Amino acid sequence: MGNRNEIHQQQISAFLTSDERYSIDTLLGRKPNDFELNMFAAMWSEHISYKSSVRWIEDLPVKGPNILVQAGDENAGVIDIDGDLACVIKMESHNHPTAVNPGEAAVGVGNIHRDLVAMGARPVAQLNILRFGDLRDPKIRESVKSVVRALGSYSNSFGVPVVGGEILFDDSYAYNPLLNLMAVGLVKKDRIITASFKKKGDQVVLIGRKTSGSGVHGAGFASTPFSGNTKHLVPETQLADPHSGKILCDSLMEMNEAGLISAMQDVGAGGVLCAASEMAFRGSRGVRIDVDSIPVMREDLDPIDILLSQSQEQMLISISPGNLARLREIAGKWEIMHATIGEVTDDGKLVVVQDEDKLCDLPVASLVRGGGAPVYIRDMKDPGRKVVKVSADEVPFPGRLKEVARTMIVHPNIASRRDIYEQFDTMAGLSNMGAFFPSDAGVLSIPGSKKLIALSVDGNSRYVRREPRKGTMIAVAEAARNIVCSGGKPVALANGLNFGDPGDLRVYHDFTESVKGIRLISEKMQVPVIAGNVSLNNVTRRDQTSVSVQPTPVIGMVGIIENQEDMTSISFRSKGDMIYMLGRSSNDLSGSEYLAAIHLVEETAAPEFDLDYEMQLQQIMQTLIRDGLVRSAHDVSLGGLFVALVECCLPNNLGFDITSPAEVRTDAFLFGESQSRIVVSVSENAETAFLDFMIEQKFPLSALGHVTKQELRIDDSSFGFITDYARDFENALGKLMEG
Amino acid sequence: MKFGVLKYPGGHGDAELVHILRQYFNKEVREVWYLEESYADLGALFIGGGFPCNHLEPGHQCLDESPALHYLETFVSRGGYVIGFGNGFRLLCETGLLQGELKLNSTGRFICKHVYIKAENQLNAITADLDPDEVFRTPIATAFGNFEADEKVLVGMRQEGQILFRYCDYEGRITESVNETGSKDNIAGISNPEHTVFGMIPQPERAVSEFRRDADGKRILTTLLQRIESSYNG
């Protein structure tokens, strides 16, 4: 045990600054003992306290007409859906553990679903958001395979469909891959559970698997830039067990249905300590915990290990003593471990006892975010980056556009994600409407309702690099555009903010710019933030020095489709339908994958973006769908118009015949990533009404051409057949993965 | 008659089956908890996808000790039908009610996608009304869909008409390239020699929605349910 103590000492000095140790003395009016110091090290870590980010995050708009539980108030946000049903949304990151051990990705899946369960909700959908280094490196390919396998190993057994996601590759993620998850659960409004202790005397019950002793100080680790020098801080690997996770979920659903649970929280980073103190703080209560009553998997654990262990498939609940018997009965049916480990008090204190000894006795508030935990506005500096816009005139015309088209279609960031998503059960629970009918957003049916939930994620770090604020706004706009193209209306957004070392003045500046971007667009579009996650200290090594990852904000969007009939696919439907593009093409190539892949120009501005214009586009698109004037809709994004058109053709094996405009160079027209564009197809019958409406709107519109049987034609020149593109596009990523 | 769906801790395919049988086929359905010792009130029992075993904590009760599974043999001998989809198929092989075994897919990984299958004959309740030339698009979602049996068993199966479905392309050609799981002879599903126990990796219950343009599974289930009901005599 001496060794373990030594490690904890090292962890404390790594995770708490001398200023912070001084603040602890001041807060308590005394020196904390070692046990307490360990608790502060965990609770004041960046990962739990959000000390460097909270000041910025709290400026984000979180209120809205559909919002039942605001972001930040509980473990997940809740949106009003229909009748007595509500939808719980959560966004999480699992970057550091996945970087160290790809198998840990499974732990992230379990964690996020338990955050939904903690609200009383049944998990119904998951989106996986991934970033890796260059696939040409065999180590990266191995890492992708392991992470994908680990993600599937949990969600496939747990029975939650993966309905969307994103995977992008960039060298900056070589040593620090990113894993963000978004998850959705459904709950009856009168069964929503909070994570606030209620009454004095309520029993605190630990339920699920026994405490493993692993994952101690995982929160601190996740708050430290990881490098060769910090290896000793890596916590023991945790094992996720989807089978236990599913049983835990089902048993808690039954207990909740019976109205037994008064408060609940997942035992995550910071272990029982974090869950108990946060629950006590939210409910303005105190809590007393008896360490010896916590069931453990092994006997050699110190009290502090037991309290801080991030054991998997374990939750903390409070329950009135009168309900204990019924709880035992249900736990017995599911054969699930449960133990009363303490009780709720009303003195606002956290007391941990072992036998008759008090290991700690301090105000709960001193430990937690919103209480005594530090809040930092760190130094920052606008790096004064040159923002270089690139127009088509400034790069040579590549000629041979057919070859460029083929190159773009098999590009790792553009090719079909089939090789990845086929490893996930996308149909579990039977609610995924898009398993065979792809839309720009994942679409879920809701039992007993004619409404549908639409979900999308978006984040192009290439746009954020030079212009973090604008790049982040584009991510929000695009995520919303996806919802709109699928037939929905955006109602709330979730953000996953992945940045480097907050001690780096430029990194911190980028982070604050990104948050400001979200705030601006969120207020303007009246789409509040329902969930968020901040992951800082994502750092990679290059030539012996630490380099922060590219700023990577990812945006998840939640929308509602009012009627099943409004659900709209990206897919062209039949030969002869007219193809139109809403929005305008331009010679702007800034930020495009084309510019990076073909012209090797990487560090440029984000594409041009005008928010008012974007909002007008989304408004028009919503009306077009509601009035039944279009047969398909697909937004133009990564890879530009050509890629978008191929994607429209694939599901029904159709082709297209289009003409490019004279005023835009053809490569920019086909591959530029000008924002605020949507490709729609219109049937002959609806064309007059469609045009009448569009003329009234005075919004830029181009008639591109029409849908053909199989051939792709641009300006009367054949670009080949859809079957060839289908094969290349569908198989490219699998081939890259084989090396 | 009443249909049953086996429910065990940690599984998830049971809820899908109950929902589909009730909502899409209007059947009377009850869940059979894995600890039930008999279910003589049922005419047929369905076993869905999902994972019955906890592989991390040894000693946890696995389905080997499930009374409901022990009763299966009696249930079948009394004229009951048993149908396993996805991992339910694997479970039936493990209990010995179906021959052969389901191994890890030849790709070594989980696969979820739509595949094409066609009926091998019309000798089974689940294929009786299906045209053997017709192709059905059904989803699979499995890591263990690789059916294997020794040649002797396979010969017997062919002779007795125990092969239900085989994987094919969208035009009905049975080729190796569409054999996603690596199954022997492209086999997607089998029955016992008495044609009362069925197992298949494709999950027709997941393809019953016309709105999603994904309803081929409905035809397969319609055949199965009608045939079982018409042969049921309490």
Q: Which has the higher per-residue pLDDT, B59 or A310?
A: A310
Nearest CA of chain A to the CA of B172: how many Å?
19
Which one of B18, B201, B212 would you mutate to disrupt binding with A, by most A Cβ within 10 Å of its Cβ? B212
Interface of A with B (CB under 8 A): 149, 152-153, 156-159, 209, 239, 241-244, 246-247, 250, 334-335, 421-430, 433, 435-437, 564
Q: Give SS3 for A559.
A: strand
pLDDT tens per residue across span B129-179 = 999 999 999 999 999 999 999 999 999 999 999 999 999 999 999 999 999
Judge whether B114 is closer than 8 Å to chain A, CB to CB.
Answer: yes
Show residues of chain A in contact with B20, CB under 8 Å.
430
**CATH homologous superfamily, domain B2-104+144-163+189-233:** Class I glutamine amidotransferase (GATase) domain (3.40.50.880)
Q: How open is the CA angle A184-A190-A192, to the nearest 5 degrees? A: 40
Phi and psi, residue B87, nearest 5°: -65, -20
pLDDT tens per residue across span A400-422 = 999 999 999 999 999 999 999 99
Show residues of chain B in contact with A149, CB under 8 Å.
109-110
Q: Give SS3 for A264.
A: strand
Nearest CA of chain A to the CA of B5: how many Å?
15
Token pair in block for residue B227: 């045939």
* Residue B60: per-residue pLDDT: 38
* Residue environment code for A307-340, b if the CB has 16+ CB neighbours within 10 A, otherwise e: bbbbbbbbbbbbbeeebeeebeebbeebebbbeb
Q: Which has the higher per-residue pLDDT, A310 or A141?
A: A141
Which one of B21, B56, B61 would you mutate to disrupt binding with A, by most A Cβ within 10 Å of its Cβ? B56
**Strand locations in A549-700 (E):** 552-561, 578-582, 632-635, 655-658, 678-682
A2 pLDDT more than 60 = no
A1 pLDDT more than 50 = no
Token pair in block for residue A177: 């891959």
Nearest CA of chain B to the CA of A371: how many Å?
39
The catalytic residue among A8, A94, A217, A634 is A94
Mean model confidence pLDDT for chain A? 93
* Residue B61: per-residue pLDDT: 45
pLDDT tens per residue across span A374-400 = 999 999 888 888 889 999 999 999 989
* Residue A232: per-residue pLDDT: 56
Residue of A nearest to B16 (CA): A429
* Residue B207: per-residue pLDDT: 94
Under CATH, which number does the domain A568-739 receive?
3.90.650.10
* Residue environment code for A70-105, b if the CB has 16+ CB neighbours within 10 A, otherwise e: bbbebbbbbbbbeeebbbbbbbbbbbbbbbbbbbbb
Flag if B139 and A246 touch (Cβ within 8 Å): no
Is A194 in contact with A263 (CB distance < 8 Å)? yes
pLDDT tens per residue across span A654-687 = 999 999 999 999 999 999 999 999 999 999 999 9
The catalytic residue among A47, A96, A113, A634 is A47
Q: Give SS3 for A56.
A: helix
Nearest CA of chain A to the CA of B234: how many Å?
31
Residue of B nearest to A153 (CA): B110
Phi and psi, residue B203, nearest 5°: -110, 90
Show residues of chain A in contact with B19, CB under 8 Å.
430
Please spell the DSSP secondary structure of chain B, one letter per residue: -EEEEEE-TTB-HHHHHHHHHHHTT--EEEEEETT-S--TT-SEEEE-SB----SSSTTS--GGG-HHHHTHHHHHHTT-EEEEETHHHHHHHHHTSSSSEEE--TTSS-EEEEEEEEES-S-STTTTTS-TT--EEEEEEES--EEE--HHHHHHHHHHT-EEEEEE-TTS---GGG-TT--GGGEEEEE-TTS-EEEESS-GGG--BTTTTB-HHHHHHHHHHHHHHHH---
Task: Please compute the mean of the pLDDT values over residues A421-444 and round it to a whole number.
Answer: 91
Choose the closest CB to A427 out of B19, B20, B112: B112
Show residues of chain A in contact with B60, CB under 8 Å.
335
Task: Please compute the mean of the pLDDT values over residues A176-196 and round it to a whole number.
Answer: 96
Is B165 in contact with B58 (CB distance < 8 Å)? no
Listed in sequence order, the residues at least 6 apart from A703 whose beta carbon sits closer than 8 Å to its beta carbon are A578, A579, A580
Judge whether B86 is closer than 8 Å to chain A, CB to CB.
Answer: no
Confidence of residue A230 (pLDDT cuts 50, 70, 90): low
* DSSP strand pairing (B44-47 vs B81-85): parallel
Choose the closest CB to B214 out of A247, A424, A436: A436
B229 pLDDT more than 60 = yes
Judge whether B78 is closer than 8 Å to chain A, CB to CB.
Answer: no
pLDDT tens per residue across span B152-162 = 999 999 999 99
Show residues of chain A in contact with B211, CB under 8 Å.
433, 564
Judge whether B23 is closer than 8 Å to chain A, CB to CB.
Answer: no
**Residue A581's closest CA among A514, A645, A506?**
A645
Confidence of residue A261 (pLDDT cuts 50, 70, 90): very high
A25 pLDDT more than 70 = yes
**Strand locations in A449-573 (E):** 452-458, 489-498, 529-535, 539-542, 545-548, 552-561
* Residue A298: per-residue pLDDT: 87
Confidence of residue A47 (pLDDT cuts 50, 70, 90): confident
Q: Decide if A217 is catalytic.
A: no
Show residues of chain B in contact with A564, CB under 8 Å.
211
pLDDT tens per residue across span A51-77 = 989 999 999 999 999 999 998 888 899
Phi and psi, residue A542, nearest 5°: -145, 125
Show residues of chain A in contact with B109, CB under 8 Å.
149, 152, 423
Flag if B212 and A334 touch (Cβ within 8 Å): no
* Residue A214: per-residue pLDDT: 80
Which one of B8, B12, B111 would you mutate to disrupt binding with A, by most A Cβ within 10 Å of its Cβ? B12
Is A671 in contact with A644 (CB distance < 8 Å)? no
Show residues of chain A in contact with B50, CB under 8 Å.
157, 159
Phi and psi, residue A178, nearest 5°: -115, 140
CB atoms within 10 A of CB A378: 17
Nearest CA of chain B to the CA of A149: how many Å?
8
Q: Which residues pair with A706 in a beta bridge?
A: A578, A657
Locate the domains of chain B by residue range: 2-104+144-163+189-233
A627 pLDDT more than 50 = yes
Task: Please compute the mean of the pLDDT values over residues B190-198 and round it to a whole number.
Answer: 97
Of the candidate ranges A30-39, A529-538, B225-234, the one whose mean pLDDT is the lowest:
B225-234
Show residues of chain B in contact with A242, CB under 8 Å.
51
* Residue B64: per-residue pLDDT: 74
Q: Give SS3 for A631.
A: coil
* Residue A603: per-residue pLDDT: 87
pLDDT tens per residue across span A78-124 = 999 988 999 999 999 999 888 888 989 999 999 999 999 999 999 99
Flag if B213 and A436 touch (Cβ within 8 Å): yes
A343 pLDDT more than 90 = yes
CA atoms within 13 A on the CB side of A425: 29
Task: Please compute the mean of the pLDDT values over residues B210-219 and round it to a whole number.
Answer: 91
pLDDT tens per residue across span A726-737 = 999 999 999 999
Confidence of residue B181 (pLDDT cuts 50, 70, 90): very high
Q: Decide if A47 is catalytic.
A: yes
* Residue B233: per-residue pLDDT: 75
| Distance separating alpha carbons of residues A397 and A392, to the nearest angstrom | 8
Exposed/middle/buried for A490, CB within 10 Å: 0-12, 13-18, 19+? Answer: buried
* Residue A95: per-residue pLDDT: 92
| Distance separating alpha carbons of residues A364 and A303, to the nearest angstrom | 18
Flag if B111 and A436 touch (Cβ within 8 Å): no
Which option is the CATH number for A2-366: 3.40.50.620, 3.20.20.70, 1.10.1040.10, 3.90.650.10? 3.90.650.10
Give me the amino acid identity at A501: D
* DSSP strand pairing (A489-498 vs A529-535): parallel
- CATH 3.90.650.10, chain A: domain bounds: 2-366, 568-739
Q: Is the ipTM above a cut-off of 0.90?
A: yes
Q: What percent of chain A has pLDDT above 70? A: 97
Show residues of chain B in contact with A426, CB under 8 Å.
112, 141
Flag if A429 and B15 touch (Cβ within 8 Å): yes
Nearest CA of chain B to the CA of A690: how many Å?
25
Query: Rounded to an integer, what is the distance from CA A477 to the centroid of its chain?
Result: 16
A229 pLDDT more than 60 = no
A10 pLDDT more than 90 = no
Phi and psi, residue A107, nearest 5°: -60, -40
| Distance separating alpha carbons of residues A243 and A273, to the nearest angstrom | 25
pLDDT tens per residue across span A566-581 = 999 999 999 999 999 9
Q: What percent of chain B has pLDDT above 70? A: 95
**Does residue B186 come out as left (phi exceeding 0), alpha (psi in the -120 to 50 range) or beta?**
left
pLDDT tens per residue across span B95-107 = 899 999 999 999 9
**Strand locations in A509-654 (E):** 529-535, 539-542, 545-548, 552-561, 578-582, 632-635
Flag if A335 and B113 touch (Cβ within 8 Å): no
Judge whether B213 is closer than 8 Å to chain A, CB to CB.
Answer: yes
Judge whether B170 is closer than 8 Å to chain A, CB to CB.
Answer: no
Residue of B nearest to A240 (CA): B56
Confidence of residue A474 (pLDDT cuts 50, 70, 90): very high
Flag if B53 and A243 touch (Cβ within 8 Å): yes
Separation in Å, CA B227 to CA A103, A332, A572, B123 = 46, 40, 39, 11
| Distance separating alpha carbons of residues A548 and A327, to the nearest angstrom | 48
